[in-house]
C-alpha cells in the first residue's frame, strides 16, 4: 500500500520547508519513487507513533495572476493536494494574518482534503498562543502554534494529523512479503527469478503492480506468500522497444521503495562494483531489509578459504549493510537458491519487529555502564534518559538525551552495536533518533499552553 501523503501549503517564506524538515526527522530521507509520486516535488518520509507518511512541500502558493508563471505554481499545489490525504496550511505567526493567507484559506476550504492549520514561528511560549489565536478567523479550525526551527508544538499537530490519515489495511495484503530482486545488469536477476518461479511446487501468479508496466509475481512456499516486485522490469530487459533507462537504476530504485526485503544480487566473478554500492546505499536510505546474494558461485575457482575471503571483501565494500546476511548461490545450477527464502523470512520478521521499552532501557543501561558517554573539555557529559521504539519497517528507536551534540559518531555507533549484539535485528537497518531534552520541554510548554 502506498504511504499516505501530506501536502504542506502556504505562501512563500512562512517556513514551509523548515516545517517539512522538522516533520521528516530522518535526514536525507528524500523519496522520489514511491508509487503515485511525481518528480516535480520533493517528498520526505516521516512518521509519528507507528504511522508512516510522506510530506511534500508544494512550493509557495500565491494568488496574484499578474505574473505569468503563477498559475502554474498554483496548478502544482493543486496537483499535490489531489494526491494527498491531508494538508497542513502553514502561516506565519510573527507577521500575523495576511490577505494572501485568507485567499489560500478560501481556496483550501473548497478542497476535499482535511486541513490542519500550523501557525509557524511561535517559538515564544507566552506570545505563541496569542499569535496563533488570530488565525481562528480563517475558519479552518484550531490554529496550532508551532516552531519549525525549534520543533515546539509539532507533537500536538502530528497527533491531530494522524487521525486524518487513512487506516492501515489489514488482511492478506499485509501478510505477504514484498521482495525486490535488485542488481546491476547481467548479475543474474532473471536467472534467479526463473529459479524461483520455474519450479512446479510454486504457485505463481502475475498480478499488476502499481503502474501499468510493472508486473509482480506472487509465489507461495511453505505457507509464506512472497510478492516478487516488478518482474516485468527484470524480464523484459532484452526487449528493444524499451530504452536503457527503463531497466536502469530508476527502475531498481522504484522496486526497492516498494519492497520489504531487497535481494541485492552481486556477481561473484566481478565482485562488488560502484553500482552495487549505490544500490546498497539506496536500500539503507529507504530503510528496507536486505539479503546480499552472491550469484554465479559455480563460476568461481575455489579453495577452502575462498568463501571467507569473499565474505570479507564483500563486507568491506558494502560496510554500510554489514547487518545484512550474505548467501553464495548459483542461479544456474540452483545451488542454495531455496535457502534464500529462509533469510528473507528472517529479514522480514526483524524489519517489523517491535521491542518493549523496558528491554531497550536494559540494553541502554548496560551499554552506558560499560562505556560512559563522552564528556566535553568544559566538563559537560552526555546523558541518555531513556529510549523507546517509535516505529517499525525499519525499526527506529528514539533516544531521549540531554543534548544530542554531546554524542559523537563513534559513541552513536557503539550504542547501535550494543542494540544489535543484544537484540539482533539481523537483516534490517536500525535507526537511532537522538532527541534533545530542550525541544521536548518546549513542546510540552506549548502543548500545555494550547490547552488552556
> Given the complex with ligand GDP, which of 4 and 10 has the nearer CB atom?
10
3-state secondary structure of 66: coil
Q: Judged by CB under 6 A, does residue 190 bind ligand GDP?
A: yes
Q: Of the candidates 25, 191, 346, 392, which one interacts with ligand GDP according to CB under 6 A?
A: 191
Q: Judged by CB under 6 A, does residue 121 bind ligand GDP?
A: yes
Q: Of the candidates 16, 44, 351, 431, which one interacts with ligand GDP according to CB under 6 A?
A: 16
Q: Judged by CB under 6 A, does residue 331 bind ligand GDP?
A: yes
Q: Of the candidates 154, 295, 391, 392, which one interacts with ligand GDP according to CB under 6 A?
A: 295
Q: Judged by CB under 6 A, does residue 153 bind ligand GDP?
A: no
Positive or negative, the CA dihedral 77, 60, 433, 276 is positive
Burial of 375 (0-12, 13-18, 19+ CB in 10 A): exposed
Q: What's the min distance (Å) between Cβ of 411 and ligand GDP? A: 30
Determine the Cα–Cα distance for residues 291 and 262; give it in Å rounded to an integer. Answer: 6
What residues between 17 and 56 interact with ligand GDP by CB under 6 A?
17-18
3-state secondary structure of 377: coil
Determine the Cα–Cα distance for residues 137 and 109; give it in Å rounded to an integer. Answer: 13
CB-based contact 283:256 (threshold 8 Å) = yes
Binding letters toward ligand GDP, positions 155-174, x by CB under 6 A: --------------------
Q: Judged by CB under 6 A, does residue 185 bind ligand GDP?
A: yes
The label of the residue with cell 518482474 reads 231
Q: Which span sits near ligand GDP by CB under 6 A: 197-205, 214-222, 326-334, 428-436? A: 326-334
Q: Which span sits near ligand GDP by CB under 6 A: 7-15, 106-114, 207-215, 252-260? A: 7-15
* CA distances to 205, 244, 248 from 233, in Å: 16, 11, 9
Q: Which strands, in side-by-side order, build the sheet including 384-391?
A: 384-391, 396-401, 431-436
Nine-digit cell string for 106: 478560501
DSSP 212: T
Q: Judged by CB under 6 A, does residue 231 bind ligand GDP?
A: no
* CA distances to 215, 267, 310, 348 from 334, in Å: 24, 15, 20, 23
Output Rg (C-alpha) for the chain, integer angstroms. 24
CB-based contact 210:258 (threshold 8 Å) = yes
Q: Which span sits near ligand GDP by CB under 6 A: 33-41, 66-74, 330-338, 426-434? A: 330-338
* CA distances to 29, 266, 336 from 332, in Å: 37, 14, 11
Q: What's the min distance (Å) between Cβ of 329 and ligand GDP? A: 7
Q: Which span sits near ligand GDP by CB under 6 A: 10-18, 71-79, 159-167, 275-283? A: 10-18
Q: Judged by CB under 6 A, does residue 186 bind ligand GDP?
A: yes
The label of the residue with cell 548467501 reads 327
Q: What's the min distance (Å) between Cβ of 265 and ligand GDP? A: 7
Instruction: Please report, as ranges, the residues that interact with ligand GDP according to CB under 6 A.
Output: 10, 12-18, 60, 120-121, 123, 147-149, 183, 185-191, 234, 295-296, 298-299, 330-332
Amino acid at each position: 500500500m502506498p504511504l499516505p501523503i501530506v501536502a504542506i501549503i502556504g505562501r512563500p517564506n512562512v517556513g514551509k520547508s523548515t516545517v517539512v524538515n522538522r516533520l521528516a526527522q530522518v535526514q536525507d530521507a528524500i523519496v522520489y519513487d514511491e508509487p503515485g509520486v511525481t518528480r516535480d516535488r520533493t517528498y520526505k518520509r516521516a512518521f509519528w507513533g507507528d504511522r508512516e507518511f510522506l510530506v511534500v512541500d508544494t512550493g509557495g502558493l500565491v494568488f496574484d495572476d499578474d505574473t505569468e508563471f503563477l498559475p502554474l505554481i498554483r496548478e502544482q499545489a493543486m496537483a499535490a493536494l489531489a494526491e494527498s490525504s491531508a494538508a497542513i496550511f502553514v502561516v506565519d505567526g510573527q507577521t500575523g494574518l495576511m490577505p494572501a493567507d485568507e485567499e489560500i484559506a478560501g481556496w483550501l476550504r473548497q478542497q476535499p482534503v482535511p486541513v490542519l492549520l500550523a501557525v509557524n514561528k511561535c517559538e515564544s511560549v507566552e506570545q505563541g498562543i496569542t499569535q496563533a489565536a488570530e488565525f481562528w478567523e480563517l475558519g479552518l479550525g484550531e490554529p496550532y502554534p508551532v516552531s519549525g526551527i525549534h520543533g515546539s508544538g509539532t507533537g500536538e499537530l502530528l497527533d491531530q494529523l494522524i487521525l486524518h490519515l487513512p487506516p492501515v489495511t489489514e488482511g492478506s495484503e499485509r501478510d505477504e512479503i514484498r521482495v525486490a530482486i535488485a542488481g546491476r545488469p547481467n548479475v543474474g536477476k532473471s536467472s534467479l527469478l526463473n529459479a524461483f518461479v520455474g519450479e512446479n511446487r510454486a504457485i505463481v501468479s502475475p498480478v499488476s503492480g502499481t503502474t501499468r508496466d510493472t508486473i509482480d509475481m506472487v509465489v507461495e512456499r511453505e505457507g509464506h506468500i512472497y510478492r516478487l516486485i516488478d518482474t516485468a522490469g527484470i524480464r523484459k530487459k532484452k526487449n528493444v522497444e524499451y530504452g536503457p533507462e527503463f531497466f536502469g537504476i530508476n527502475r531498481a530504485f522504484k522496486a526497492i521503495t516498494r519492497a520489504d526485503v531487497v535481494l541485492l544480487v552481486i556477481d561473484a566473478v566481478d565482485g562488488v562494483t560502484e553500482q552495487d554500492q549505490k544500490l546498497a546505499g539506496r536500500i539503507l536510505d529507504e530503510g528496507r531489509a536486505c539479503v546480499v546474494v552472491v550469484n554465479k558461485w559455480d563460476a568461481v575457482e575455489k579453495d577452502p578459504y575462498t568463501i571467507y575471503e569473499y565474505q570479507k571483501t564483500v563486507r568491506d565494500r558494502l560496510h554500510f549493510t554489514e547487518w545484512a546476511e550474505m548467501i553464495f548461490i548459483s542461479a544456474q545450477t540452483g545451488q542454495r537458491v531455496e535457502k534464500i527464502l529462509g533469510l528473507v523470512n528472517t529479514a522480514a520478521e526483524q524489519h517489523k519487529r517491535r521491542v518493549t521499552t523496558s528491554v531497550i532501557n536494559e540494553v541502554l543501561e548496560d551499554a552506558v555502564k560499560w562505556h560512559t558517554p563522552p564528556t566535553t573539555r568544559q566538563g559537560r557529559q552526555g546523558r541518555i534518559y531513556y529510549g523507546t521504539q517509535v516505529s517499525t519497517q525499519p525499526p527506529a528507536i528514539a533516544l531521549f538525551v540531554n543534548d544530542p551534540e554531546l554524542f559523537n559518531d563513534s559513541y552513536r555507533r557503539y550504542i547501535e552495536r550494543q542494540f544489535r549484539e543484544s537484540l539482533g535485528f539481523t537483516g534490517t537497518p536500525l535507526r537511532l533518533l537522538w532527541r534533545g531534552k530542550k525541544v521536548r520541554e518546549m513542546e510540552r510548554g506549548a502543548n500545555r499552553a494550547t490547552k488552556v
